[in-house]
Amino acid sequence: MNSSKTYILKLYVAGNTPNSMRALNTLREILKKDFKGVYALKVIDVLKNPQLAEEDKILATPTLAKILPPPVRRIIGDLSDRERVLIGLDLLFEELCDEDFFSGPFNESSDQDKP
């Protein structure tokens, strides 16, 4: 993960429902393991702040919105599929790019190929 980025995330929940709590707990685990302090998370209870949900056009809960870095992404559901969440946050793609994915032995020239 590129540590120069700061992720700004908003999690919209509807009270303390099981889905809301599962989404919050799963997200906290992902942030602790994969984001290591380079994030800001705001949890918004749409029952207490319906105007915020309306302004951000939230139609279902729980919804995770990645505000920064662009592009804005939204993931709807209880976030139980960790890989889907990471893809939704563009994290898996960045991991592939950071690991010098294309520098393996198949891209290096070999003396055996030379005439």
pLDDT at 1: 52
Q: Order across the sheet with 63-68: list the strands.
A: 39-45, 7-13, 63-68, 73-76
How far is 20 from 27, CA to CA, in rounded Å? Answer: 11
Average pLDDT by stretches of 10, the chain with 115 residues: 75 94 92 85 95 92 92 90 85 57 42 46
Helix (H), strand (E) at residue 76? strand 73-76
Both tokens of 62, joined, read 């729980």
Both tokens of 24, joined, read 């919050």
pLDDT at 104: 42
pLDDT at 37: 78
pLDDT at 22: 93
**How many of the other CB atoms lie within 10 Å of CB of 104?**
8
Torsion angles phi and psi, residue 14, rounded to 5: -120, 85
pLDDT at 27: 93
**How would you label 3-19 residue by residue, b for 16+ Cβ within 10 Å and e otherwise?**
eeeebebbbbbbeeeee
pTM of the full structure: 0.75
